[in-house]
Amino acid sequence: KTRLISRLGAGVNRDKTGARRLTYECLYHNVFLGSLQSSSRAYSVIPPPRDREEQEMVHRMLRVDHAGEYGANRIYAGQMAVLGRSRTGALIQQMWDQEKKHLAKFNEILAENRVRPTALLPLWNLAGFALGASTALLGKEGAMACTVAVEESISEHYNSQIRALMEQDPERYTELLEVIKEFRDDEMDHHDTGLEHDAESLPGYWLLKNAIQLGCKAAIYVSQRV
Ligand SMILES: [Fe+2]
Ligand SMILES: [Fe+2]
């Protein structure tokens, strides 16, 4: 919405004659009516569960997503501890900042819906940081290889959730789907950033990538359940 307002604002500056009224009408419809519509819903992202089964499905999804974003934050923290003052520091910080937003959103969703986070957060705290720092010790290419591996796993995970929700009831989960799609796009960007910054030139890249992705799969499996 902010982006929309600034775009419309720019329109007012460019064409002061005829378009101004139209612009304000658009503003009214998009922003004012839009917010009225969204505030008439009793929930922000997750609809109240229909039954126990749906509640469990949704909680499992949110729990693992939260765990993933938490782990991603710790990985970037580990990378920054090693490479923060290097030339790659700003780039890593940029990706980390996006992960902070992702995590904040899932923190909010978990709290609103009283979803219990995984009991393994202390483990992901340590393991994430260790993974980030140890790959960063291999140099910039190591950190980027780790980013490619992890972000590819997270994107695939989000994609499979999107498929599952679409199969269930796309109307019902519109808001959640929007959140997940937006985050999935960010993770794809991180993945591409890793490739653009020489991830593949790390000696043993494929071996490291496969090992990390195996770890991600295991982490996803247990974080849904524990
Ligand atoms: Fe993320
Ligand atoms: Fe990411």
pLDDT in tens, 62-121: 999 999 999 999 999 999 999 999 999 999 999 999 999 999 999 999 999 999 999 999
pLDDT tops 70 at residue 6? no
Question: What spacing in Å lies between the alpha carbon of 197 and ligand 1's midpoint?
Answer: 19
What is the predicted pLDDT for the residue at 32? Answer: 45
Q: Which residues are annotated as a binding site for Fe cation?
A: 69, 99, 102, 151, 187, 190
Task: Please compute, for residue 7, the number of CA atoms within 13 A of its CA located in the half-sphere on the CB side.
Answer: 8
Q: What's the confidence (pLDDT) of residue 44?
A: 80
Model-level pTM?
Answer: 0.79
HSE value, Cβ hemisphere, 13 Å, CA-based, for 19: 10
Rounded Cα gap, residues 219 and 9, in angstroms: 46
Contact present, 143 and 79 (Cβ < 8 Å): yes
Q: Where are the domains of the chain?
A: 2-39, 52-225
What is the distance in A from the centroid of ligand 1 to the CA of 111?
A: 18
Q: At residue 76, what is the residue type?
A: Y
- Please give the pLDDT value at position 164: 94
Q: How many CA atoms lie within 13 A of 105 on its CB side?
A: 20
Task: Say how many Å lie between the CA of residue 95 and the centre of ligand 2.
Answer: 7
* Distance from the alpha carbon of residue 102 to the mean position of ligand 1, in angstroms: 5
CA distance 162 to 165: 5
Between the CA of 185 and the centroid of ligand 1 the distance, in Å, is 9
Confidence of residue 36 (pLDDT cuts 50, 70, 90): very low
CA gap 158, 66 in Å, rounded: 12
Q: How far is the CA of 202 from the centre of ligand 1 (A)?
A: 24
Cα separation, 167 vs 121, whole angstroms: 30
Q: How confident is the model at residue 49 (pLDDT cuts 50, 70, 90)?
A: confident
For helices 174-196 and 140-168, the axis angle rounded to 10 degrees is 160
Give per-residue pLDDT as tens, 116-163.
999 999 999 999 999 999 999 999 999 999 999 999 999 999 999 999
**Nearest ligand, measured from the Cα of 148:** 2
Q: How far is the CA of 33 from the centre of ligand 1 (A)?
A: 31
Ligand nearest to the CA of 67: 1
Q: Which ligand is nearest to the CA of 189?
A: 2
- How close is the Cα of 105 to the center of ligand 2, in Å? 14
Across the range 24-40, mean pLDDT stands at 46
Secondary structure percentages of the chain, helix, strand, coil, to 5: 80, 0, 20
pLDDT at 211: 96
187 contacts 154 by C-beta, under 8 angstroms:
yes
Binding-site residues: 69, 99, 102, 151, 187, 190
Q: Which of 140, 150, 159 is nearest to 198 (CA)?
A: 140
**Residue length of the chain:** 226
- Stretch 182-209: mean pLDDT: 96
Task: Name, in order, each residue with C-beta under 8 angstroms of 180's C-beta and a sequence gap of 6 or more.
Answer: 65, 158, 161, 162, 165
- CA distances 120 to 70, 153, 220, Å, are 11, 19, 11
Domain 52-225 fold: Ferritin (1.20.1260)
